[in-house]
Structure 1
Amino acid sequence: MMIGTTLNKRYRIQSLLGSGRCGKTYLAQDIQATKDSLCVIKQFEPLAKDPLSLRKAKYLFAREVKVLKILGRSDRISDLLGHFQQGEQFYLVHSYIEGEDLGQELGSNKRWTESQVVALLREILAILEVVHNERVIHQDIKPSNIIRRKSDGSLILVDFGSIKKIYNQMANAEGKTSLTVPIGTKGYMPPEQKSIKPQLASDIYAVGMIAIYALTGVKPEDLPRKQDTDTVQWRNLIQVDENLAQLLDKMVCPDFRQRYSSASEALMALRGCKLGGKLKLFDYSSLIAVLTLIAAILGGSYHYHQLNNSVEENPNTSYQQLN
């Protein structure tokens, strides 16, 4: 057990957060930090320990670190605080985000309103746009990887599956494809991701499933699907605005070629999605059009009333004379 151990003469392990085939995740305390000393440490140990494999792991690790540093420039993505190698093990040190994950706000038959879901989509897609602009695929977007930061209520995206990515790249490089581990979570993974051929659109599928979960209160893995197409059957569970339903159907389409290709494209579609096409309070163009129509109706009615009175007073008056 590593509990109580100090890594790199700096990070004291407090508890084990998770473990799997590819590595382990720990909550630790940075004993050199003056504030915000809690951090999250991810450990990766290559299966093969020969010099060539270790060099390959070191290269892949350095490449992943570079990507994470770029993404960490956004204050809505978990920051990479440090990285190091100790023996044959590699470590990533991430900032600890105080707050509760989105999963605490979903489920238990809770149903969000359409407006709440649109706002949620807008916030998640805006964060994901930063990721996709760097041509990075998160591959494991799910409620537990989205933290609502306690300090300001903002959503923060965490856990890019870096250790699993390195593990898979090592396995593929060594020709051991049977050891390859799919990155993702049941219910949020589209077909191409299960086949270990993820696309940017794979992340769009996961975000769409979160939105459907929020609307229906049903976990994605529990939603019925068509056996022949793997299409999610969710519309019969709740009455929802048609524009929003069509947008979500496209986000979770089994064929990634028919989905929005990136967060930017999905965000653009969302901005054009008007719930029910209802008149908004400050939609001046629509308001003017409605007022103009009302004025025309009232004006026509007044003209007809005047015409009718004139004819009654002077039956011999022709229509042309009145006009």
Structure 2
Amino acid sequence: MQAERGRLRSALIVRLNRGPGIVRSDDNRGTVHGRVALVLVDDVRSLQAEKTAAHSAGYPQCVRPGNVQAQGGGQMGFADKVVFVTGAGQGMGRAIVRHFGDAGACVVAADINADAAAAAVAGYGAKGLALACNVSDPASVKSAFDTVAERFGRLDVLINSAGIGSVDAFLDTPDDNWMRVIGVNLTGTFLCCREGARLMQKGGAKGAIINVSSTAAMSGEGPSHYCASKAGVMGLTRSIARELAASGIRVNTIVPGPTNTPMMAGIPDEWMQSMIKAIPLGRMCEPEEIARVAAFLASEDAGFITGQNIAVNGGMAFI
């Protein structure tokens, strides 16, 4: 955002993926730097016109919002922010994608199930991108973030929601199950944080990374591999929050209690009832409630919050 003669201006950034060209504003302020066109606009009407022109020309684009937003702009200033969500095919991940997408963000839904990822961004058109991604595989993760860089040129928000579990007693835990749960929940979070932070730094974004842990990390109530992996996520968040702060990247963890997601379907009923009885508010969390907390942590309203664990568990545990 720049000030000129007392007026506020916003920048419309257009990636020129189809060869050389130029995008011009109504007062000829359009400029091109390499394969990116930067158009400065003063008001909502100009911003809408430039977005329409870029879309008609076939150029995917996003907005660097200043104080000016397009009509129908998003909640908490997410209009055209680029948001990457893992585990986006169901449960919390899908709810998070829909929340940010409905708020006007460019949403990237990454999931090992490509069809589920595509369903998560249905209706968002060019502002939705579905990617098949195995977060435990470094090559798959790098490919996903490379695609985001090519499509949008930057990343503003990363939310690591991918997670798995397995019902195993400690002494009977197969090695493969241990490695699989740790690989997705902890290693996957590490890999995505690393690639996401690199893209944020490259694009100059003062971004936000939000990891998803679990109350089980504190209570120990759950299979050993799951509790260990989610405790590791909390430690990872604290470490990288310190390291990335100088780059303007904030990193926080959401720590949900029992949440009404498909993953809970595999838990024995007696465990489920015991968990609900331990929740003072007397019910499970809904995925949309997690999405709203993620939106807060990603917003400028949380601009001085980093390295924190935010419990969303109905009072069953205190951090």
- With the length of structure 2 as denominator, give the TM-score of the two structures: 0.23
Higher gyration radius (CA) = 1
